[in-house]
């Protein structure tokens, strides 16, 4: 099944390093990042999971729960976590699904047969509290993810949900933003964007960061 932005994230039950997880119930009223890694005891994945563990405060600040997926069993994950903690100087406390039956990997199309028949690629799904898929990213096994980019996307999604704006190329939280072209009524702009705005073209209007 191919998943698209705007779809409801498929629900599932699967065992994990912290016990069985019912996905929608586990998300609750939070945001979630579901991300796959190809296999346990692999070098790039070891650095990725270590990075995510170190970044947990940044995820929590954004109200985001993190769930990793791997097609290896929970028993192997638990042994591997000791290695991750030791080599990356972290404490992996977020759950890793034991997806050896490939239930979740298949549901989320994380196995790309021209890459590998059995291992997942590096997929990332950003899911909002209504369980809607807001972002899908796919990286090859040989490329470790940039988690700063994932925070940048979450910051953009959370900001653009609150204000009628979009974020331009290379935007970082705090930078100027683009006013949605859907707002045509010039009189409304002053009230909506009290920090003012600059009209570079009628379709390209910039305003200072609208958040607090």
By beta-carbon proximity to ligand BEZ, the closer residue of 44 and 136 is 44
Cα separation of the two ends of the chain:
40
- The binding site for ligand BEZ (CB under 6 A) comprises 38-39, 42-45, 141-142
Least distance in angstroms from the C-beta of 48 to ligand BEZ: 7
By beta-carbon proximity to ligand BEZ, the closer residue of 106 and 118 is 118
By beta-carbon proximity to ligand BEZ, the closer residue of 114 and 195 is 114
Residue from 45, 84, 92, 111 carrying the catalytic annotation: 45
Least distance in angstroms from the C-beta of 44 to ligand BEZ: 3
Tell me whether residue 45 is one of the annotated catalytic residues: yes
Q: Which two tokens stand for residue 137?
A: 């990213």
- How do the residues of the chain divide into helix, strand and coil, expressed in percent and rounded to 5? 30, 25, 45
Least distance in angstroms from the C-beta of 192 to ligand BEZ: 46
Least distance in angstroms from the C-beta of 128 to ligand BEZ: 28
- DSSP label at residue 9: P
Which of left, alpha, beta for 201 (phi over 0: left; psi -120 to 50: alpha)? beta
By beta-carbon proximity to ligand BEZ, the closer residue of 38 and 98 is 38
* Gyration radius of the chain over CA positions: 19
Closest by CA position to 125, among listed 102, 145, 101, 100: 145
Neighbouring residues of 125: CB distance < 8 A, sequence distance ≥ 6: 3, 9, 32, 33, 34, 35, 108, 133, 135, 136
The residues that are catalytic are: 45
């Amino acid at each position: 099944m191919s998943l698209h932005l705007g779809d409801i994230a498929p629900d599932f039950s699967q065992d994990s390093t912290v016990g069985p997880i019912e996905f929608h119930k586990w998300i609750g009223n939070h945001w979630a990042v579901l991300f796959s890694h190809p296999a346990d005891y692999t070098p790039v994945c070891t650095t990725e999971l270590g990075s995510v563990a170190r970044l947990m405060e940044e995820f929590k600040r954004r109200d985001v729960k993190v769930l990793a997926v791997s097609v290896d069993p929970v028993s192997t994950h638990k042994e591997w976590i000791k290695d991750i903690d030791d080599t990356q100087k972290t404490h992996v406390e977020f759950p890793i699904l034991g997806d050896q039956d490939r239930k979740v990997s298949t549901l989320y199309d994380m196995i790309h047969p021209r890459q590998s028949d059995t291992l997942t690629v590096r997929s990332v799904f950003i899911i909002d509290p209504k369980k809607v898929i807001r972002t899908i990213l796919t990286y090859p096994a040989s490329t470790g993810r940039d988690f700063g980019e994932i925070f940048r996307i979450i910051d953009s999604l959370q900001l653009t949900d609150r204000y009628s704006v979009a974020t331009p190329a290379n935007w970082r939280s705090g930078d100027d933003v683009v006013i949605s072209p859907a707002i045509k009524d010039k009189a409304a702009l002053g009230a909506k964007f009290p920090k003012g705005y600059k009209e570079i073209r009628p379709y390209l209007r910039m305003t200072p960061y609208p958040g607090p």
